[in-house]
A = this chain, B = another copy of it.
Amino acid sequence: MSLRHALLGLLAHGSASGYDLLGTFQGSLANVWPATQSQLYGELNRLADAGLISVVAEGPRGRKEYAITDTGRAELQRWLTEEEPERNRRNDMLLRVFLLDLVEPAQARAFLDREAALAAERHESLRKLDESIEWDDSPLSRYGRLTLEWGLRATAMHREWAEWAAARIDAGGRRRGG
Q: Is the interface of A mostly helix, strand, loop or mixed?
A: helix
Query: Which single residue of chain B is at the shortest CB-CB distance from A80?
Result: B103
Query: Which single residue of chain B is at the shortest CB-CB distance from A101?
Result: B139
Q: Tell me the residues in window 1-45 of chain A with beta carbons closer than 8 Å to chain B beta carbons.
A: 2, 5-6, 9, 12, 29-34
Query: Which single residue of chain B is at the shortest CB-CB distance from A150?
Result: B161
Residues of B within 8 A of A146 (CB): 97, 100, 165, 168
Residues of B within 8 A of A100 (CB): 80, 143, 146
* Residues of chain A at the chain B interface (Cβ within 8 Å): 2, 5-6, 9, 12, 29-34, 76-77, 80-81, 85-103, 107-108, 111, 137, 139-140, 142-144, 146-147, 149-150, 153-154, 157, 160-161, 164-165, 168-169, 172, 175-176
